[in-house]
């Protein structure tokens, strides 16, 4: 969450600084006939090839020879999506890579516009440059920001806590407008006015798996605020040392979760500062994540999103 002090900071920054604008199942045919032992040997080989040891929807042989995934680990890259789902569920999780951490976010807006392309690019590049390792040689995280609704109707201020009435809080918006939650997507709402714990001075709020934020014209401020609130949505909580506080300098705690870093930077900490918490590693390996319900036997179930969606920079 971001408090009133942050609003003052925005004003100062805007006044003093020029920001950049704004299926293949592996069915192996077994030959019959031949010498006395040959069929058994071939059958054994065929069974081995068709075996899906880890139950992720891909046979061991496909994992070894086609996808370079681990036949004994259902989720080779540890991002919550089983290997078979990453390979086969293009509609639910487009451009997923079974060998890289993928994070999917549905972005709705009560405004006519959503995240600007420059803000989106800043966020995507920040995750791409994250100092975390994937299976194989690659580093970084692929965040997929999926724009869904715009011009949603808000009933005034959007609160971070559940409230009576419809359109009053972020949970209303997710309940009524989230298209992809069962596919394991986070939900972020852009709106005109956000309140945290009833306090209207806040400009953004993040709760587990969900966030709301006001939108600013500045690309840098918008992207930075997104990173901050989305950090909360992933489990970087305010009770942890330095988060939503101003008592550490940016050198001591080099993170957008530090109020002294908010609006000025994008990145989470890598554990080399005084606070010493590797937030990028937490994001890659231990973040709070929406349940992935649209999976069955390692691959897409009928609950998977079947409608085409627009994905940008993902
Ligand atoms: Ca498998
Ligand atoms: Ca596997
Ligand atoms: Ca995976
Ligand atoms: Ca992946």
Q: Identify whether the C-beta of residue 275 lies closer than 8 Å to the C-beta of residue 267.
A: no
User: What is the predicted pLDDT for the residue at 109?
Assistant: 95
Per-chain residues with Cβ under 5 A from ion ligand 1: 52, 54, 56, 58
Separation of 23 CA from ligand 1 center, angstroms? 13
Instruction: Give the closest ligand to the alpha carbon of residue 81.
Output: 3
Instruction: Give the closest ligand to the alpha carbon of residue 51.
Output: 1
C-alpha neighbours within 13 Å on the C-beta side of residue 244 = 17
253: closest CA among 218, 232, 278, 223? 278
Which of these CATH numbers, 3.40.390, 1.20.950, 1.10.3470, 3.60.21, describes 4-14+90-312?
3.40.390
Separation of 81 CA from ligand 2 center, angstroms? 11
Instruction: Give the closest ligand to the alpha carbon of residue 54.
Output: 1
Helices 4-16 and 219-233: crossing angle in degrees, nearest 10, is: 150
- Per-domain residue ranges of the chain: 4-14+90-312
Instruction: Give the closest ligand to the alpha carbon of residue 75.
Output: 3
Instruction: Give the closest ligand to the alpha carbon of residue 95.
Output: 4
Per-chain residues with Cβ under 5 A from ion ligand 3: 75, 77, 79, 81
Instruction: Give the closest ligand to the alpha carbon of residue 78.
Output: 3
**Helix, coil or strand: residue 270:** strand
Q: Are strands 295-296 and 299-300 parallel, antiparallel or unpaired?
A: antiparallel
Render each residue's pLDDT in the chain as its tens digit; 314 residues: 665 444 333 433 333 332 233 333 333 333 333 345 565 656 555 555 589 999 999 999 999 999 999 999 999 999 999 999 999 999 999 999 999 999 999 999 999 989 999 999 999 999 999 999 999 889 999 999 999 999 998 888 888 888 888 778 999 999 999 999 999 999 999 998 898 887 887 889 999 999 999 988 899 999 999 999 999 999 999 899 999 999 999 999 999 999 999 999 999 999 999 999 999 999 999 999 999 999 998 998 888 887 766 655 54
């Amino acid at each position: 969450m971001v408090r009133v002090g942050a609003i003052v900071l925005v004003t100062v920054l805007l006044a003093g600084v020029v920001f950049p604008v704004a299926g293949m199942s592996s069915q192996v045919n077994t030959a019959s006939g031949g010498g006395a032992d040959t069929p058994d040997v071939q059958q054994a080989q065929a069974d081995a090839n068709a075996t899906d040891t880890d139950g992720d929807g891909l046979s061991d042989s496909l994992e070894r020879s086609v996808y370079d995934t681990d036949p004994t680990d259902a989720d080779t890259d540890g991002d919550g999506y089983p290997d078979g789902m990453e390979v086969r569920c293009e509609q639910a999780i487009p451009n997923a890579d079974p060998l890289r951490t993928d994070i999917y976010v549905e972005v709705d807006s009560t405004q006519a516009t959503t995240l600007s392309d420059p803000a989106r690019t800043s966020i995507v590049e920040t995750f791409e440059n994250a100092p975390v390792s994937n299976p194989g040689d690659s580093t970084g995280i692929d965040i997929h920001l999926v724009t869904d609704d715009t011009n949603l109707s808000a009933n005034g201020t959007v609160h971070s806590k559940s409230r009576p009435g419809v359109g009053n809080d972020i949970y209303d918006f997710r309940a009524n407008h989230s298209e992809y939650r069962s596919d394991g997507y986070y939900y972020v709402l852009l709106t005109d006015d956000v309140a945290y714990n009833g306090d209207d001075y806040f400009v953004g709020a993040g709760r587990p798996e969900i966030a709301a934020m006001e939108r600013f014209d500045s690309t840098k401020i918008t992207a930075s605020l997104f990173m901050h609130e989305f950090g909360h949505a992933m489990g970087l909580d305010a009770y942890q040392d330095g988060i939503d506080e101003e008592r550490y300098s940016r050198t001591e705690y080099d993170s957008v979760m530090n109020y002294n870093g908010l609006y000025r930077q994008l990145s989470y900490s890598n554990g080399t500062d005084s606070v010493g918490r590797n937030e990028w590693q937490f994001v890659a390996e231990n973040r709070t994540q929406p349940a992935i319900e649209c999976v069955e036997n390692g691959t897409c179930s009928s609950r998977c999103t079947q409608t085409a969606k627009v994905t940008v920079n993902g």
